[in-house]
Amino acid sequence: MSKPAGVVPYLFRMSRHWLIAFLACPLLCGQQFAHYDIYRAASPIVVDGKLDEPAWKQAPPAGDFHPVGDEPKVQQQTIVKLAWDDENLYVGYYCLDRRISAYVSERHGPVSQDDCVELFLSPNPAKVRNYYTFEINVIGAMLNRNRTDWWTGPPTWEPDGVKYRTTWHGESKKNPSSDDEHWILEMAVPLRNFAKDAAHMPPAHGDEWRLNLNRLEGAEGVQQPRGQPRGGLSTWSPLPKEVRSFHSPDWFGWVRFVANAPPK
């Protein structure tokens, strides 16, 4: 009995898709994604680059960062905490660093050449490749990108109402010093910037988003052999060794919004 027209091509298409899924499974299924509960801020947060409010002391840390590429371990760790209220997502970075440098001061400049931290955020896990970037160096220069399917503007993006401060905010440059120990970024991002992608605004209890927290150590602090990829890169949610780009939303970690303050 002959098969109806179109059945063989359909079965072939199905087998091809299953083959692709099968070949990808060792990479996807074996990947460990970071997870974090973002608790509601227990008290008001003043964005001054100090991270000394009770809300920050009560918020749990997100967990260790992981090296990118073939580096065996992260040499200088990063401590990040997140919190939220009805208006803002708060992010605090505390970067251990014995040789801090930054020279890019222009808006949307190449801040990743300096000591720099980044928040890459996707408010809709079903469309994880719709994501937003906040990239800030130690002297407070910021680069933003909107990588969404609805954005028709230029490569860079102007988020609304972001407040942030770094340890050397507004300086023209930061040279390494023997006194260097750490630097801080404190940031409040209005949630309204993500209204086109998020399921609820403000988030509802239990809403999940995808994001990654990235760090780049400045060229002054990382000595790499000539011809080798840049070192000093790390991420909160680990990347497979063959993936060196932070612009890899499939590997973003998971965060869950919790409506109550963190336990004391």
The domain limits of the chain are 35-258
Are the beta carbons of 92 and 80 closer than 8 angstroms?
yes
pLDDT of residue 264: 82
d(CA 173, CA 177): 12
Q: What is the pLDDT along the chain (264 residues), one digit of tens a residue?
A: 444 444 333 333 334 443 333 344 444 556 689 999 999 999 999 999 999 999 999 999 999 999 999 889 999 999 999 999 999 999 999 999 999 999 999 999 999 999 999 999 999 999 999 999 999 999 999 999 999 999 999 999 999 999 999 999 999 999 999 999 999 999 999 999 999 999 999 999 999 999 999 999 987 655 544 445 556 999 999 999 999 999 999 999 999 999 999 998
What secondary structure does DSSP assign to the chain, as a single string? -PPPTTHHHHHHHHHHHHHHHHHHHHHHHH----EEEEEEPSS----SS---SHHHHHSPP----EE-TT-SS-SS-EEEEEEE-SSEEEEEEEEE-SS--B---STT--GGGSSEEEEEEES-GGGTT-EEEEEEETT--EEEEEE-SS--S-SB---SS-EEEETTTT-S-B---TT--EEEEEEEEEGGGGTTT-SSSSPPTT-EEEEEEEEE--GGG----TTSPP--EEESSPPPTT---S--GGG-EEEEEESSPPP-
Are the beta carbons of 72 and 215 closer than 8 angstroms?
no
Give the architecture (CATH level 2) of 35-258: Sandwich (2.60)
pLDDT of residue 29: 52
pLDDT of residue 4: 45
d(CA 80, CA 109): 24
pLDDT of residue 8: 38
